[in-house]
A = this chain, B = another copy of it.
């Protein structure tokens, strides 16, 4: 257990209250007053922990990115010749958010930050690097699949990008409420790179 002092504790409470509110009301519509109330402290107290709203937003952003790692969902080393399609499909389902789970909350607030990134290069770069991590992760998975001889993709890079795009956009679509049969779409996507006899 990492020992934690009072200051750090309050900081984290502020961060998490902020994220909770960002998710529900949007970042711009969440005021420091709302955050303070949620935590149970006063507005100026926030300034003891974060020098401005902007800094708080940035820390919140870091806070969630820490819990948004490709390798937490897609475990390359668990894949093998026998389970490749099945497992990849399953990893995707685990990643895709359900209305109640934590990942749902996480992606919902990530969505808010994505918008903000339009006007903030700092955020944009961080999101780009997350995206790169996903593309790279899928690239490794594809290479494994090729090694195992179960997939048939012509261009690994393009396919890695395609997978990243699809999984990301399915998540977004669920978020926004598009009523697509996302499990089937993901299965179709996985299948599209498997050899005929490996399809799931």
Residues of A within 8 A of B (CB): 24-26, 28-29, 108, 111-112, 114-115, 117-119, 124, 127-128, 131, 135, 154-155, 157-159, 161-162, 165-166, 168-170, 172-173, 175-181, 184-185, 187-189, 192
Contacts and interface: CB of A to CB of B under 8 A. Distances in A.
A176 B28 contact: no
Contacts of A128: 176-179
Copies in the complex: 4
Given A128-B179, A165-B170, A29 B28 contact: yes
What 9 A-B pairs come out closest when comparing CB atoms?
A: A169-B169, A115-B115, A158-B188, A28-B28, A165-B169, A158-B184, A161-B180, A161-B185, A192-B192
A44 to B, nearest CB: 12
